[in-house]
Chain A
Amino acid sequence: MTMTLPTETRRRAMTTSANYDYSGAALDLRDLTLAYGDIEVVRKISLRVEPGTTTCIIGPSGSGKSTLLRGINRLHEPKSGDVLLDGGSTLAEQPDQLRRKIGMVFQHFNLFPDHTALENVALSPWKVKRLAKKEAFELAHARLDEVGLRERADHKPRDLSGGQQQRVAIARALAMEPQVMLFDEATSALDPELVNGVLNLMASLSGRGMTMVVVTHEMGFARRAANQVVFMDEGQIVETGTPEEIFDRPQSARLQRFLSEVL
């Protein structure tokens, strides 16, 4: 437990969730190929993400980063290859079942506009996981607490700032108690002063044992919070390494070029 939360908050969070410190799963991508029609935008990507670690995926636009992410939870059905959770193939699994174990956070939040923050978070534990309504809403309260929005539980998304909306979206994904979290440019649509709040929240999840795959343009975050950084271009992994290796000692010309443009 690295967070300093008020004890009341902590107690509540712990009573409604068994793993307040997360136990993320190991994630393995095996020769994952994704295509739009005949055009392969992600080609034979293999990658291991150790349990409880964070992998940041960086790369220029059109490199297939987001598509790769959507292939992991099969929002985009892979053309070939496999995704392993804790060593087990997920190929045979129903996509809906798989997605209950893999949380995803989107660039544009995609909160449900007709529902309050609390309802956004409670909806899937209630309707998908079939928790009792009361239990689902308690869980949702705890998750909102966790992202610092206890006071905003009854606000509709349109009455929240972008940063708050994204934190609700993170709470919503966490409420399904996922083993892996995917972040698709989660801070790209935020006002600059609100970016750090969300990044810090993500870093805190990462520090508490969540397995995370983060597509990001925030190089500072990648350097600070990632255990592994992956540089993708044109649908393939060009370079993989620790943040130090990627940012301080880039090997390939393409990565050097990319870093010189973004840093």
Chain B
Amino acid sequence: MDLLDNLTKTFFDFQAMADVLPQLLQVGLVNTLVISLAATAIGCVLGMMIALMGISPLRWLRWPARVYTDLFRGLPAILTILLIGQGFARFSQQLFGPSPYPLGIIALSLISSAYIGEIFRAGILAVDKGQLEACRALGMGYGRAMRLVVVPQGIRRVLPALVNQFISIVKDSSLVYFLGLLVSERELFRVGQDAAVLSGNLSPLVLAGLFYLIVTVPLTHLVNYFDQRFRTGRRKAAPPVSGLREVAELETAGTAESR
């Protein structure tokens, strides 16, 4: 009984939770979402460039993309964030002022772009090569064919993987606290941790965790929904139509008439 009481006080101190709730909502959640969405957006743009370089027929575009990807996928996120966040602090000071917040976003963007680049690359490569060929046969240049036809198809089929990547960024965004954020810039984890120090128990962190779950769990289910939809397609079940009907239709249209 004593143990249970102890656990309850440690993890489910509702008063401590209630105290930190406004901050988690107004500061933590907002910053977590801002950081994650910004990092995902920048990551998608960079990732697309990396992906296109990675599938380029030109070797001098391919290998820098390869090195970049290996680098940022191979390093622990925390190390990249510290190296970027502290290493470029002086640059950042001139550009964005003293806050390390933008650098945190940039570091996360670089990390996510390496993963997103691989996602895009796989998606684009999975598009039937007949698509590119059909475009080329119609007189489209490589760039236009990729932009109008191949890349959109590639993106569509990797949407589930992109949502997964976003979830991972949401979680990694907690690492930005290492850079030392201003009070108003703290994300969910930091807000929870600061409150935990004050309350003397872990309940604020439990609540912060709950917030993460509120963001991520619906998304994982969205992924499953996406996946299902893409796999089965949107085609509605229709009664079978005889091929002969089409033959008859053609004959009446007059176009099937031979010379």
Kindly report which residue of chain A lies nearest to residue B153, judged by CB atoms.
A114
- Kindly state whether residue A228 has any CB partner on chain B within 8 Å: no
Kindly report which residue of chain B lies nearest to residue A5, judged by CB atoms.
B254
Contact among A96, A110, A173, A191 with B243 in the assembled complex (CB-CB below 8 Å) = A191
B134 touches A106 (CB 8 A): yes
Q: Can you list 16 residue pairs at the A/B interface with Cβ under 8 Å?
A: A3-B255, A75-B133, A102-B137, A103-B137, A108-B130, A110-B133, A110-B134, A124-B139, A148-B250, A148-B253, A148-B254, A159-B235, A176-B139, A193-B244, A204-B257, A225-B259
Minimum CB–CB distance for A231 against chain B, Å: 24
Which residues of chain A come closer than 8 Å to B233, judged between CB atoms?
A: 158
- Kindly state whether residue A163 has any CB partner on chain B within 8 Å: yes
Minimum CB–CB distance for A227 against chain B, Å: 12
Which residues of chain B come closer than 8 Å to A204, judged between CB atoms?
A: 255, 257-259
Minimum CB–CB distance for B151 against chain A, Å: 11
Which residues of chain A come closer than 8 Å to B253, judged between CB atoms?
A: 148
- Kindly state whether residue A43 has any CB partner on chain B within 8 Å: no
- Kindly state whether residue A53 has any CB partner on chain B within 8 Å: no
- Kindly state whether residue B128 has any CB partner on chain A within 8 Å: yes
Asked, given contacts A159-B235, A194-B243, A204-B259, whether A114 binds B156 with beta carbons under 8 Å apart, the answer is: yes
Asked, given contacts A193-B243, A197-B250, whether A203 binds B259 with beta carbons under 8 Å apart, the answer is: yes
B220-259: CB near A (< 8 Å → 1, else 0) gives 0000000000000101000000011011011001111111
A1-29: CB near B (< 8 Å → 1, else 0) gives 01111100000000000000000000000
A163-183: CB near B (< 8 Å → 1, else 0) gives 110000100110010000000
Q: Which residues of B contact A (CB under 8 A)?
A: 128, 130-131, 133-134, 136-141, 144, 148-149, 152-153, 156, 233, 235, 243-244, 246-247, 249-250, 253-259
Contact among A96, A110, A124, A147 with B255 in the assembled complex (CB-CB below 8 Å) = A147
- Kindly state whether residue A62 has any CB partner on chain B within 8 Å: no
Which residues of chain B come closer than 8 Å to A158, judged between CB atoms?
A: 233, 235
Contact among B128, B141, B247 with A197 in the assembled complex (CB-CB below 8 Å) = B247
Asked, given contacts A4-B257, A5-B254, A110-B131, whether A123 binds B148 with beta carbons under 8 Å apart, the answer is: yes
Asked, given contacts A4-B254, A106-B133, whether A124 binds B246 with beta carbons under 8 Å apart, the answer is: no
Which residues of chain B come closer than 8 Å to A161, judged between CB atoms?
A: 243, 246
A201 touches B255 (CB 8 A): yes
Minimum CB–CB distance for A88 against chain B, Å: 18
Contact among A99, A103, A110, A194 with B128 in the assembled complex (CB-CB below 8 Å) = A110
Please measure, in the bound complex, the distance between the C-alpha atom of A225 and the C-alpha atom of B134, giving whole angstroms: 25
Kindly report which residue of chain B lies nearest to residue A163, judged by CB atoms.
B246
- Output the residue of B134, B256, B257 with the most chain A CB within 10 A: B134
- Kindly state whether residue A206 has any CB partner on chain B within 8 Å: yes
